[in-house]
Amino acid sequence: MPEFFNVLPPDEARALLLQQLTAVLPSETLPTHQANGRVTSKTIFAPHALPQFRRSTMDGYAVRAADTFGASESLPAFLQVVGEVPMGKAAEVALGVGQAAIVHTGGMIPGSANAVVQIEHTQTVSGNPLSVIGEQLFPFEIEVLRSVAVGQNVLQVGEDVGLQAEILPAGHILRPQDLGGLLALGITAVSVVRRPRVGILATGDEVVHPEKKAGPGQIRDINSYTVAGLVEQAGGVPVLGGIIRDDLAALETAAASLLAETDMLVMSAGSSVSVRDMTVAVIDGLGKPGVLLHGVATRPGKPTIVGAVQNKPVLGLPGNPVSAMVQFDMFGVPAIYHLQGVQQMPRRGLVWARLGQNIASESGREDYVPARLEDGDEGLLAVPVFGKSNLIYTLVNADGLIKVPLNKGGLLAGEWVEVRLF
Amino acid sequence: MPEFFNVLPPDEARALLLQQLTAVLPSETLPTHQANGRVTSKTIFAPHALPQFRRSTMDGYAVRAADTFGASESLPAFLQVVGEVPMGKAAEVALGVGQAAIVHTGGMIPGSANAVVQIEHTQTVSGNPLSVIGEQLFPFEIEVLRSVAVGQNVLQVGEDVGLQAEILPAGHILRPQDLGGLLALGITAVSVVRRPRVGILATGDEVVHPEKKAGPGQIRDINSYTVAGLVEQAGGVPVLGGIIRDDLAALETAAASLLAETDMLVMSAGSSVSVRDMTVAVIDGLGKPGVLLHGVATRPGKPTIVGAVQNKPVLGLPGNPVSAMVQFDMFGVPAIYHLQGVQQMPRRGLVWARLGQNIASESGREDYVPARLEDGDEGLLAVPVFGKSNLIYTLVNADGLIKVPLNKGGLLAGEWVEVRLF
């Protein structure tokens, strides 16, 4: 049977896969402080304003701003300090005209005050700088050396977040500051999408477990572990299904059983035509729609098989370790985010650098060339690490992959290039 | 006592801290497949060459290259196929002059062969393309339509890694491809540096646990959790010590006890002068050298206190949530890597973008301004999110921080700027 290569550019191929994945995975509730890196399952609104009370941004005196108008070094305003607002307590002191109260940074502003004069712009009438630590006898008098405007040095109620404001959308990857923003509002539990479980099968008569001695003609399984690492980094849970012989029935059984207990299946097969044909047959046998495309206009990794079975992505990766990683990054990683409802892939890990050496390519193909990054005089330099896609150490010795865009016949030394850190 | 600000630029301040940390933490041995993100504790060498045997990079025929010299479509070379090399087995077939053997991609090359003719460049004498699947009767004859050079389509022994080659240096952060590279060589356990344990204390009479209702004058602790998130991302283990009152004796006791069981201590204090003075006293009381500097030429976060006690970093962060995160990223994160023996910080998370709006700053100060990233016509656009450093939502609504370099008075819209993804 003649082999049919439906070779699509990577962006189109990825779009074809993602449009098959119409349902976001179910959600679960987690303590907020354990949700770093997880994805919100619904929009989150502020249950109250933040801050909830007016706070001082300075050490100094809460005042009625009008009492300071016109104050200067040569003509200070005299105010009577009638109390102190303790940290963590309500501001119970009431200010009359010409009165002030000691406040500390972060402390509450009394209701009758509307600004804060910072301590450096005042002096006690005795002439010594006031110590805000320790005991203080009230009232005492200060000179205010600069006027303050209404609201100056004051955080207003709701200045950070207003009541009922949308604070995070659904499909947002939670970062440390997001956890902080939620906890500041007392949101100590959060609904996040369940982590996608990704089944991984290695196939090949020549492949042995890494614990085993590799005899003549044998190689150790590494794709299961490189793919598992990428799965974890994207927020998924790898489920290793082991090494399957090059036998259609054995592969069908293993694939069906692993797919049943996971949300996505990845088969890393050999690179011979017969093995690829077998992978196509297995994916088509798992369910509808089955194989979506066979072959992508990229190097390395052209013979990648992309499929889907009832909302679950199913990938057949080439056996070469470099191809397997590049192709999983191209299809598997976006699929893991998509299953979690993430609309935009994180930008972390994309850098621009100047190319250190010419790279040849072919128009109509997107190439990924391993590169080492070096600090150069004119910014970051990307130095290609050339080598066959069978050689895992081209990736070990690289910091990332240079992308040669689809419609470029190659890249010239000195050009700015996009490098995907790997 | 007058306050003394020893305000250093951030790079010098960081160097001052790191030079106090002279010992890398102890190591431990892990299964290689569980070591993603961990740091190697010693140089690793290849126990054998990779590949260990000569492998075919194509489906086709192993040949003696000389037998194909001069072959072309019009004048093919005739070869006698005497056997097949099964995948995962030694190549036991011996080739005489004018003989060939079927090999599959990744299969072993017989000792008497030195090249592979890919199947597309041959035909069986009957004229039908040969199926490499299924049973085959030997010998049979093929026509070779193109010559191959010695070594063509063959991976040589050691082409990926030579015997005893240095494959990874000490202080290397393991990535998925590194795990693959180790496992390919049968290195199934790896010595990595123990993850640094980072003690985190929140202090302040106004600070309450996020589970609690925040009354008038009170705020919930968030710095413990934002810092913990950054610690995890850098490969450390956060150890939360809770919230301590603004009381010197209480803080001294809590700090000493937490430092004793961790490798690094972070205190997130309030921002008032009295609280900062207390933090300085506590750090100096913990041991030598104590406080290294008090104040960094940055915004936000100028009043940061940087110290070290017997090879352990001790930081006093400002209480403002934005300052706390920016300053922990500036000092805490590099210290976590340094304690693991990492010489160069990972580049992941640094992007360049065009500035969307002018930013004012002051020469002699390094500013970090929260920014949202947008895809523009001329590449990535960084749009500043202005707001006081008390406002955690300036970070929630941002993708990263724009760095305004030390000696720039500001940045102009359209300039290329470095954005640290956060």
Domain ranges of chain A: 10-25+194-339, 27-51+165-193, 55-155, 350-421
The reply to whether CATH 3.40.50.20 applies to domain B350-421 is: no
B64 vs A418, more confident = B64
pLDDT at position B182 is 98
Residue A390 reports pLDDT greater than 60: yes
With a pLDDT cut of 90, the percent of chain A lying above it is 82
Each residue's pLDDT tens digit, A180-197: 999 999 999 999 999 999
CATH topology of domain A27-51+165-193: Molybdopterin biosynthesis moea protein, domain 2 (3.90.105)
Tokens 């969307």 found at: B356
User: How close A49 gets to chain B, by Cα (Å)?
Assistant: 12
The rounded distance, in Å, linking the Cα atoms of B294 and B305 is 5
- The rounded distance, in Å, linking the Cα atoms of B322 and B420 is 14
B145-197 pLDDT, tens digit per residue, is 999 999 999 999 999 999 999 999 999 999 999 999 999 999 999 999 999 99
- The DSSP result for A98-116, as a single string, is TEEEEE-TTPBPPTT--EE
**Given pLDDT bands bounded at 50, 70 and 90, which one contains residue A376?**
confident
- Those of residues 361-400 in B touching chain A at CB distance below 8 A are 373, 380, 388, 390-393, 395-396, 399
Taking only the tens place, the pLDDT of each residue in A391-416 is: 999 999 999 999 999 888 899 999 98
B63/A contact by beta carbon, under 8 A: no
Q: Answer with the residue of higher pLDDT: A3 or B113.
A: B113
Question: What is the structure's pLDDT at A2?
Answer: 33
pLDDT tier at B126, thresholds 50, 70, 90 = low
User: Beta strands B55-56 and A379-384: pairing type?
Assistant: unpaired
Q: Mean pLDDT over all residues of chain A?
A: 92
DSSP structure string for A191-215:
EEEPPPEEEEEEE-TTEE-TTS---
- Whether pLDDT at B132 is above 70: no
pLDDT over threshold 90, residue B65? yes
Residue A223 C-alpha, separation from nearest chain B C-alpha, in angstroms: 7
Average pLDDT rounded to a whole number, residues B295-306: 91
**Span B113-134, average pLDDT:** 77
pLDDT-derived band at A215 (thresholds 50, 70, 90) equals very high
For domain B10-25+195-339, give the fold: Molybdenum Cofactor Biosythetic Enzyme; Chain A (3.40.980)
The percentage of residues in chain B with a pLDDT greater than 90, rounded to a whole number, is: 83
CATH of region A10-25+194-339, choose from 1.10.3720.10, 3.30.70.100, 3.40.980.10, 3.90.180.10: 3.40.980.10
**CA distance readout (Å), B263 to B25, B237, B252:** 8, 10, 17
| Cβ atoms B155, A388 nearer than 8 A | yes
Whether the pLDDT of residue A126 is over 70: the answer is no
Res. A355: pLDDT tops 50? yes
- Residue A249: per-residue pLDDT: 96
> What contacts B33, CB < 8 A, 6 or more positions away?
A210, A225, A228, B179, B183, B188
* A106/B270 touch (CB, cutoff 8 Å), yes or no: yes
Q: Is B58 a residue whose pLDDT tops 80?
A: yes
Given a cut of 60, whether residue A36 has pLDDT beyond it is yes
What Å distances lie between residue B103 and A208, A216, B62, B86, B302, CA to CA? Answer: 19, 14, 6, 7, 67
pLDDT value of position A364: 87
Q: What is the pLDDT of residues B207-236, one digit of tens each?
A: 999 999 999 999 999 999 999 999 999 999
Picking from B38, B59, B87, B212 by the largest number of A CB atoms within 10 A of its own CB, the best residue to mutate is: B87
Predicted local distance difference test score (pLDDT) of residue A117: 98
The alpha carbon of residue B132 is apart from the nearest alpha carbon of chain A, in Å, by 8
Average pLDDT score over residue span A170-187: 97
Is residue B131's pLDDT more than 80? no
- Contact status of B30 with chain A (Cβ, < 8 Å): no
Q: Report the pLDDT value the prediction gives residue A404, as an integer from 0 to 100.
A: 93
Contacts B381 to A, Cβ<8 Å: none
pLDDT at A32: 98
Q: List phi, psi (to 5°) of A366.
A: -100, 120
Q: What is the pLDDT of residue B94?
A: 93
Domains A10-25+194-339 and A27-51+165-193 are alike in CATH topology = no
Q: Does the structure show a pLDDT above 60 at A1? A: no
Superfamily in which the B28-51+167-193 domain is placed by CATH = Molybdopterin biosynthesis moea protein, domain 2 (3.90.105.10)
Top-level CATH class of B55-155? mainly beta
B352-410 per-position pLDDT tens digit: 899 999 999 888 889 999 999 998 887 789 999 998 888 999 999 999 999 998 888 89
